[in-house]
Structure 1
Amino acid sequence: MATDEAKRAHTDRMIAETIRNRQQREQGYREQALKIYPWICGRCAREFTRENVHQLTVHHRDHNHDNNPKDGSNWELLCIYCHDNEHARELDAEAARRAGAAEGGPAGARATSQPFADLKELLARRGR
């Protein structure tokens, strides 16, 4: 019983430390990005003020949160809604790649239907 509690306490400490480290790292590049860029969402162009700047997030263009060049070239400011949308689109694209690979097709397989294949013939018949 004591070892379970010790393991749980150790896990809790590690999780808390990981969260604390991430928050410190984020605070550093967020503050830098807010100094470099205007407080405008890079997607929807919503403008932010001191009252609502907490809704403005830093998006890493290459999706690597450890890639934080001082010039901000890997960052863009996005509102929380556009940021969520950006990551959802990335997840959707990954799911589509996996689905294509699971079906035996190439990753990122495209639709194969040709809805206008007979259009020329249909138009020719209609014109008669």
Structure 2
Amino acid sequence: MIIIDPSFRKLCENKDFILGNVYEKSYLINKENGSVIYISDFYGEPSSGVLSDRSEWCIVGGDKLIVWKKPTKLELIKEETLSPIFGIKYLSEIEVKILVDPWSEKGAIWLLNIQTLERKKMADFKLNSEYTEEFDW
């Protein structure tokens, strides 16, 4: 089972699922029955992931974005302006905020509508400090 692999890293958890990865591969694990849904491979490990509160969807980010919608629909978003993903924040059942590499020239915060996959740039976001995983955005 994936979750007992010592390399498994939890990205997010809600009452129904655990979203995580083993190196470059990402998975959604049903907590009730242990079934595993393979989400995608990434170039490098995914950086972040979010589950909806009602378990209707999840999103995983890294060199691309993958949106999984119940029951089995996968959507790939791979755009130069949205890579690499540094973080994802849950806003509502239909929206997330996405942070693109804040140490690069294209560092920005984007809004993604999960239902339509429409993307809107909210603001440029660049850090002039050394790398850290702890900062407000």
Assess same fold via TM > 0.5.
no
Which of the pair is proportionally richer in helix? 1
Which of the pair is proportionally richer in strand? 2
TM-score normalized by the length of structure 2? 0.24
TM-score normalized by the length of structure 1? 0.26
Q: Which of structures 1 and 2 has the bigger CA Rg?
A: 1
